[in-house]
Amino acid sequence: MSSLKGKIAIVTGSSRGIGAEIAKALGKNGAKIIINYTVNKDSAESVVNQIIQNGSEAISIQADVSLQKDVSRLFDETISHFGKIDVLVNNAGVMLNSLIKDTTDDLFDKQMNINVKGVFYTLREASTKLADNGSIINLSSTVTRTIFPTYGIYSASKIAIEQMSKVFAKEIGNRGINVNCVLPGPTSTELFLKGKSEELIAQLANNNAFKRLGTPSDIAKVVAFLASDEAKWISAQNIGANGAMA
């Protein structure tokens, strides 16, 4: 894979978990990274320091992707600091499981505001502020290919991202920008494991061909490839990173 040297990448929701691993992978390949976070500044700065120690540059910028003004500021501060934006990774998201009959308006709105509006706001900013020949990678989920009770609203928010990404790929392709979605399966992160029994974790792991949970690194490697020049002919695609789960 070619180096990402000289490229500037925003990774939303990258203070921990999959987002942090994506940011570090892009940094190891030479990109300069913007670590976006909402509230956990200490975690964001920890990721920044790891990227710097690995030989690249990084800064953290606080912004709530569900707020248009914050997203606009995220892009403007990045351009002010680094001069441009080449790569946008929409990783920020929230999953609040509930049966549809038990889903409150607040639960519905929170997932739609962060998962869907957050991507919409960044795509709209990218339409004028992402550099020509850039790359956009949006994180969806393998649950858009499955039928799991309690995932109704979450999966609806993620399928909206997939469709929006396909359309945007056609709209912005004339500037050499490719747009794709990555669909992780169950992945071993602190947030994913929290509150789950060993039995449930084993059951989820057994749903794929390799009989294990994914790792953040598994996902980060796919994203890093899609951000590279080798992936330029790939656009408007939904790429499963789930060990043949679905």
Catalytic (active-site) positions: 154
Rg, Å, the chain Cα set: 17
CA–CA distance, 165 with 179 (Å, rounded to integer): 6
- Which DSSP category does 96 fall into? -
- For residue 44, the SS3 value is helix
- For residue 184, the SS3 value is strand
- From the number of C-beta atoms within 10 Å of its C-beta (0-12, 13-18, 19+), residue 30 rates as middle
The alpha carbon of residue 54 and the mean position of all alpha carbons in its chain are separated, in whole angstroms, by 22
Tell me the CB-side half-sphere exposure of residue 112, using CA atoms within 13 A: 10
